Structure 1
Amino acid sequence: MPDIRLRIELLDTDPLVWRRVVVPEQINLHRLHELIQDVMGWADCHLYEFECNGRYYGEPDEWSDRPIAQAHNAKLKSLAARARGGAFHYLYDFGDGWEHRIVVEATGLEETNPCPRLIDGAMACPPEDIGGTIGYAALKAAAAGDKDTFGQELLEALGGEFDPEALDEAEIAYMLEPFQAGFRRLGDGPRESRPTPAQSLDMEESLKAQGIHSIEELMQVLQEEVDKSRRH
């Protein structure tokens, strides 16, 4: 399956918090949500939704005031093809209102391993539950020495330290490993080698030397070893 390159931008942040990733085009939007959480640095504690050309995708519930399609049933490939201006939007945490613009930079790319993966990015993700971009601006000001009460309270809640420029690419790479395992492709990773005829012959001779001449006898020996280990 071909790949798609995306640029994820957290709107109304200055300097801009952003990430560039390559993902398989067949990824569904729920999995893309989980991917965004990992590469941005969110903790997946709140609701989310995607919006493209006035259509919404997420986790429908009885409290929604507009039609929302199941994110599990929508593919990135279809959304990318319909996105006006080559971009769509992702909202995380309806309270703090973290709005992301997702730019489709390239489609139909030759598939690569590992995938998905982070290419580059900049700036630390805001902490959860700090009041949106207003709180993020206050937190960064406090980290820079500003004595504003709100910003200082946020900074103290984080143990007195916050580096807005920190981007831990090693941590992101670690978080993406389960995704890469889920999208395992041919040629990715070592394969188990089959025993050669010589190896098979050596094994057969070894078993015969131990008085084992059939599969039934081998199974009996193995069962005896299991029973013995249980008694101990």
Structure 2
Amino acid sequence: MPDIRLRIELLDTDPLVWRRVVVPEQINLHRLHELIQDVMGWGDCHLYEFECNGRYYGVPDEWSDRPIALARNAKLKAIAARVKENAFHYLYDFGDGWEHRIIVEATGMEELDPCPRFIGGAMACPPEDIGGTVGYAALKAAATGEQDAHGQELLEGLDGEFDPEALDEEEIADMLEPFQAGFRRLGEAPSEPRQALSKQSQGLDMEQSLKAQGIHNIEELMQVLQGEIDRNRR
């Protein structure tokens, strides 16, 4: 299956918080949501939805004022084929309202192994539950020494430490390992557990031993066993 390259931008942040990833085209939107959470640095604590050409995908809610299709049933390949201006949108946390633009930079790419893969990005992800982009701006101001009362309060909630430029690429790579295992390419066969290999080897040894005794099928084996039972009875 070909791959798709995406650029994920957190709107209304300055400098822009963004990430670039390559993902398998068959990934569904729920798995893409989980991947975005990991590469951006979110905690997956709130609801989400995708929007493409006026259609919404997420977790259906009877209280919603619009139809929401099940994200698990929507493939990225189908979404990428009908996006306008090469972009669709992802909303995380309906309270704080973190809006992301997902730009489809390339489709039909040669398969990467492993995949999904983090390609690049910039700036730290905002912490959860800080009041959206307004709170994020206040927090960054306080982190750089500005006297912002709201920002100082948010900074204290983070034990006085927040680096808006921090981006831990190694941590992102570690977070992607479970995804890569789930989308293992055909060229990379999963190794069998040692215990399973041991049992398989024992089975082969037993089969060879029986053949050496002239036993080639289950009927011949049953005859030999019955003969042993008869001899023991005498």
Give TM-score scaled by structure 1 length: 0.82
The 2-side partners of 1:87 and 1:10 are apart by: 13
Cα deviations across residues 40-70 of structure 1 (Å, max 9, x unaligned)?
0000000000000000000011110000100
* Alpha-carbon offset, residue 21 of structure 1: 0.1
Secondary structure of 1:145 counterpart: coil
Rg (Cα) greater in structure: 2
**3-state DSSP of counterpart to 2:43:** coil
Instruction: Indicate conservation of the 8 Å contact 1:3/1:109, yes or no.
Output: yes
The change in CA–CA distance for 1:190 and 1:57 in structure 2 (over 3 A counts) is closer
**Secondary structure at the residue paired with 1:139?**
helix
Compute the displacement of 1:188 (Å): 2.5
Q: Give the CA deviation at 1:112.
A: 1.2
Paired position in structure 1 for 2:100? 100
Letter in structure 2 aligned against 1:2:
P
Once the 2 structures are TM-superposed, how far is the Cα of residue 72 of structure 1 from its aligned partner?
0.5
What is the one-letter code of the residue matched to 2:175? M
Measured on the aligned residues, the alpha-carbon RMSD in Å equals: 2.3
1:65 paired residue number: 65
Looking at structure 1, the residues matched to 127 and 191 of structure 2 have their Cα atoms a distance apart, in angstroms, of 41
Tell me the SS of whatever aligns to 1:34.
helix
Structure 1 residue 190: Cα displacement: 6.5
Moved segments of 4+, more than 3 Å? 189-193
Instruction: State how far apart, in whole Å, the 2-side matches of 1:64 and 1:191 are.
Output: 46
Report the equivalent of 1:41: 41
What residue number does 2:231 align with?
A: none
How much has 1:191 moved relative to structure 2? 4.4
Asked whether the 8 Å contact 1:114–1:188 carries over to 2, the reply is: no
Report the TM-score, using the length of structure 2 for normalisation. 0.82
**What is aligned with 2:125?**
125
Give me the whole-angstrom Cα distance separating, in 2, the residues matched to 1:189 and 1:85: 38
Tell me the equivalent position of 2:228. none
TM-fit CA distance, 1:147 = 1.4
Aligned equivalent of 1:174: 174
What fraction of aligned residue pairs are identical, expressed as a percent?
Answer: 81
Structure 2: which 5+ runs fail to align?
Answer: 210-220, 222-234
Name structure 1 gaps, 5 residues minimum.
208-215, 217-232
Structure-2 change in CA distance of 1:139 and 1:11 (3 Å): same
CA distance in 2, matches of 1:162, 1:115: 31
| Residue number in structure 1 paired with 2:151 | 151
Cα distance in structure 2, aligned partners of 1:153 and 1:78: 44
Aligned to 1:37, the other structure's residue is in SS state helix
How many pairs align? Answer: 203
Paired letter, 1:158: L
